[in-house]
Amino acid sequence: MKSLAFVLPIYNEQDNIPVLYERLRGVADGLADRFTCEFVFVDDGSRDRSLALLRELRERDDRVSVYALARNKGHQIAVTAGIDVADADAVIVMDSDLQDPPEVAVDLVAAWEDGADVAYAKRRTREDGFFKRSSAGFFYWTLSKLARIEIPRDTGDFRLMDRRVVEELRRYPERNRFLRGMVAEIGFEQRAVEFDRSARHAGTTGYPLGKMLKLAADGILGFSSFPLRLISAIGMILAVGAGVWTVYLAISRLVNPESVVEGWTFLAAGMFLLGGIQMLMLGVLGQYIGRIYEEVQGRPLYAFKVADHGRRS
C-alpha cells in the first residue's frame, strides 16, 4: 500500500471544515483499496473555532493530524509547514474552502500512478469575482513574460507531489515563498490536470489585496531579474541619448553661436549625461545585488532525476 497525505491550510474556516472533512473522507474511502490516507490540517492562527473543530476530528479519526502555528504566518508558510511534516509517498496540497474540490485529487492520483512526479490542477473555469479573475489573469500573464522558468498559468497550489519532489522542496530555505514557482523550478515530470474551480463554500477570503500583492511580488521578484535589468536599460538609453545630444549641442554652438543661450549647453547636456551615467551605475549595483539575492536564496543547484552509478572502486 502506498501512502497519501493531504495538506490543508486552515485560516478561519470553521464553516468549511465539517463539509471539507466529509468530502475528503469520501475521496479517501474511494482510494482505500490502494492507498492509506492522512489528512494534515495546519491551522494558521485562526481566530474562530477552527482549531477546536480540528481537534474534535482528531479525536474521532486517527487519519487526521492537527498542527497549529503559534500565530498567523500566511498561506504559503502554513502549506510549507504541512509539507515539512507530511510523511507519505505523495503529498496533495489543497485549499480548505472547497474551491479546490477534493474529488479532483482522484485525477491527480491517477496522473501520479501514470508516471507524473507532479500533477498540478489547472483551472478550466473559475467562479471568482471580476476583480479576482482579472487581477489574477494580469498577474499570470506578466509572470509568464518575466519569469526565467515556465510557471504554469491558471494554477494555484492545488497539486500532488511525489515524495522525491517533496524532498527537493524541503531543500529550498527561502523565506519569501512562492511555492508554485519553486515546484516548477525543481523539474521532474510535471503534468496538468484540468478542473472547474468552485466558489468559496463559506466564510470570507483570507487573501485581501495586501496579501495578494505580497504573493505577486514574491512570484515576480523571486523568479525574474527583469526589474533589475530595467534599471540598466533605462540608464543606457539615457546616457547614450544624452551623449548624442551633447555632441549635437556642441556642434550647433560652434556653427551658430547665437542659437543658444550662453552657458545653457553645458548645464543641460551635463545634467542628462550625469543622470544617465548614474542610472547606468545603479544598474551595475543592481546586478551585484541580484547575485547576492540569488546566493542568499540558497536554492539547490540541481535535482537528480536518475542517480544510477555503477560499481565504485
- Contacts with ligand UDP by CB under 6 A lie at 9-11, 13, 44, 72, 74-75, 78, 95-97, 99, 200, 205-207
The residues that bridge with 6 in the sheet, in sequence order, are 39, 92
User: Which of Mg ion, ligand UDP, none does residue 74 bind to, with CB < 5 to 8 Å depending on kind?
Assistant: ligand UDP
In the complex, the smallest distance separating the C-beta of residue 40 from ligand UDP, rounded to whole angstroms, is 13
- Distance (Å, rounded) from C-alpha 237 to C-alpha 275? 11
* Alpha-carbon separation of residue 137 from 129, 133, 152, 171 (angstroms): 12, 6, 12, 30
The residues that bridge with 69 in the sheet, in sequence order, are none
User: Which of Mg ion, ligand UDP, none does residue 222 bind to, with CB < 5 to 8 Å depending on kind?
Assistant: none
User: Which of Mg ion, ligand UDP, none does residue 43 bind to, with CB < 5 to 8 Å depending on kind?
Assistant: none
Helix/strand/coil for 103: coil
**Residue 34 vs 133, nearer CB to ligand UDP:** 133
User: Which of Mg ion, ligand UDP, none does residue 190 bind to, with CB < 5 to 8 Å depending on kind?
Assistant: none
CB 40 within 8 A of CB 231: no
> Considering only 4-12, 98-106, 217-225, 231-239, which stretch makes contact with Mg ion by CB under 5 A?
98-106
The residues that bridge with 119 in the sheet, in sequence order, are 160, 191
**Residue 101 vs 290, nearer CB to ligand UDP:** 101
| Burial annotation 164-201 (CB, 10 A radius, 16+ → b, else e) | ebbebbeebeeeebbbbbbbbbbbbebbbbebebeebe
In the complex, the smallest distance separating the C-beta of residue 71 from ligand UDP, rounded to whole angstroms, is 10
User: Which of Mg ion, ligand UDP, none does residue 152 bind to, with CB < 5 to 8 Å depending on kind?
Assistant: none
Please tell me whether residue 100 binds Mg ion under the rule CB under 5 A. Answer: no
**Residue 117 vs 157, nearer CB to ligand UDP:** 157
The dihedral of CA 54, 55, 57, 63: what is its sign? positive
In the complex, the smallest distance separating the C-beta of residue 94 from ligand UDP, rounded to whole angstroms, is 8
Please tell me whether residue 99 binds Mg ion under the rule CB under 5 A. Answer: yes
In the complex, the smallest distance separating the C-beta of residue 196 from Mg ion, rounded to whole angstroms, is 14
In the complex, the smallest distance separating the C-beta of residue 118 from Mg ion, rounded to whole angstroms, is 21
**Residue 199 vs 251, nearer CB to Mg ion:** 199
Query: Which single residue is written with the C-alpha cell 515576480?
Result: 220
Query: Which single residue is written with the C-alpha cell 485549499?
Result: 95
- Cβ neighbours, 10 Å, residue 250: 13
**Residue 38 vs 44, nearer CB to ligand UDP:** 44
In one-letter notation, the amino acid at residue 118 is V
What stretch of H or E contains 122? strand 118-126
**Residue 46 vs 99, nearer CB to Mg ion:** 99
Return the residue of 13, 38, 43, 97 that touches Mg ion, per CB under 5 A: 97
In the complex, the smallest distance separating the C-beta of residue 295 from ligand UDP, rounded to whole angstroms, is 29
- Cβ neighbours, 10 Å, residue 291: 12
CB 109 within 8 A of CB 24: no
Q: Which residues of the chain form contacts with Mg ion (CB under 5 A)?
A: 95, 97, 99, 200
